[in-house]
Each structure stands twice: as C-alpha cells, then as structure tokens.
A = this chain, B = another copy of it.
Amino acid sequence: MKPVVAIVGAGAIGCYYGGRLAQHGCDVHFLFRSEYDSVRSRGLVVRSPDGDFSIGPETLHAYRRADQMPRADLVIVTLKTTANDQYANLITPLLADSTAILTLQNGLGNEERLAGLFGRERILGGLAFVCVNRAPDGTIRHLDHGQIKLGEFSGPARERTGQIARLFADSRVPCSVLENLAAGRWEKLVWNVPFNGLGAVLNMSTDQLIGSPGGLSLVGRLMAEVMRAAAGVGIQLPPDLPERRIADTRSMGAYRTSMQIDRLEGRPLEADAILGRPLAAAAAHGIATPYLQVLYEMATLLDQR
C-alpha cells in the first residue's frame, strides 16, 4: 500500500522532496501558503540535474489548510523555523495513532518542540544536504546534492527509521540513517553557524567568506566554538571536521546560504534555530562562545529592523 505523506510548509525543500516521493509512487499531500494559487493553476515543476519532472495541477494534491488534508502515515515538516509557532495548528489535523513526524528544518530545537506537542515517540529529525531554491516563476530549481540523513529523536534507529530512509532512497533521494541524531545536528551546525550566520550578517557568499585569511579565521573561530559547544553537551565530533568542511565549501563555488538569501529578500532570519539555540546550549554547559554570541546578536538585530 502506498504510504500517505503530508508536506507541511511546501517551500523549495518541501516541494523538492515531496515531489520526488510523489514522482516515485507515494501519495503526497502538500500544504501551501502564499504559493497555493499559482501551484493550483501551474502544478509543481522541478528542474534538476538528476532529471526534470513535474506534477500537473490535475494530479497534484495541494491544500491551503491542514484540516482539509487526509491523515498521514508520515508528516514531513519543512517550514521555516520562524513559523514554528504554527506547529499545533498545522500538524494536529494530520495525525493518526501511528503517524511519524520528520522535521527537515534547520538548527536546534525543532524536535524538542514537536515532541512537547505530539509526544517523543512520533518524532524523527533529518538533515537535508541540498542546494535548492524557487525561481521567480515558481519553478523549483534543484542545483546540487540532495542527500538526507535522518534519525530518531527518542533514541537509536529502529524499524520505521529504515523504512522511511528506504522511501527516500527508492525515490532518487540518497538517504542514510543516523544512530545519533543530535550528533548529526551538531555536525551540520559546524557548517551552518559560520556560513549562514556570517553570510547573512556580512552579506557574503561562501566563496567570499573563505576567500581571504580574515574570512577563514572568522569561519574557523566559529567552527571551533561550535565544536567546543558540542563537546560540552557530550558530543565528540571528529577533530578534522572543520578542515574537511572548509574543503567541501571550496568545491561548492559561489553559494549563498538560505539565511543570506532570507536577508536579501527581507524575510525573517532563522537566527534562533541556527545561532541562538546552539549559543544557549553552550551557555548552559558553561562553554564560552564569544564569536557566536556577537554573531547571534547581530543577526537578531538585522531581523528587528
């Protein structure tokens, strides 16, 4: 039987992954907000180096309100974290007894908040390593990568973890299972904190940030602080991780992180999830992170103006 999947927050990432699942036989239902009308008339169009595809308006399950959607086996949350106060409202109508909830959102704190609302057992978290955005005409442009790493919030992987991973893997989305989700989150923060944070605050792309000794030094300081914060919460990341992430970044070319784009387009910044939560976690364990502190305050300030 085809699993019923709900995509909550069908921005570029939700449309891309939901589109891949629908393309490969899942019964996918998309919750749109501002894009609803245009998607209703146009359908979902994805351009990708792995092959373009589209779902016509007659077969696309698009919704404007969660209470019009069917109950799902799997809810995939791809909201901006700045909309997390909508969780109860948007997710509650989608839940049956055994519904799993997978958040692919950025940063820290999302699983905890979902668990507080819907119970720890339902919750999985995933890290999406993907470059994807929405073109002005509404087309989803998949630029590069696409892998997901996912894991259980409440403990090690179990049977459903592998099933969900296979759902993605069978839909042209490379997917692996994390035995320790928190370690995966912190590992991703080692990259996200400097490049999203500095990218937004200084309005600089990744290649600009690592293109000078001063930039490399700032990126390196922030990475070192995130490594120390992770160690403080009990997660030992590989010591050569920063070095490897810098090397990966060199191969990406000129890339604008989501937070830089949010700033440029005047949208709220995910400063709390990506910077504020790691900062608070570090502080709670007595780890000094002065560069992260200043970066967080600056990003918050940009958000307030």
Contacts and interface: CB of A to CB of B under 8 A. Distances in A.
Interface residues of A, number: 27
A212 interface: yes
Main secondary structure of the interface of A (DSSP, over half): helix
A212 B204 CA distance: 24
A103 to B, nearest CB: 27
A290 B294 contact: yes
A134 to B, nearest CB: 25
A215 B304 contact: yes
A81 to B, nearest CB: 18
B201 A297 contact: no
Contact of A294 (B213, B291, B305): B291
Interface string A205-241: 0001101111101100100000000000000000000
A35 B154 CA distance: 68
B298 A201 contact: yes
Interface of A: 198, 201-204, 208-209, 211-215, 217-218, 221, 290-291, 293-295, 297-298, 300-302, 304-305
10 contacts: A202-B298, A203-B203, A211-B304, A213-B304, A214-B304, A221-B297, A290-B290, A290-B293, A290-B294, A291-B294
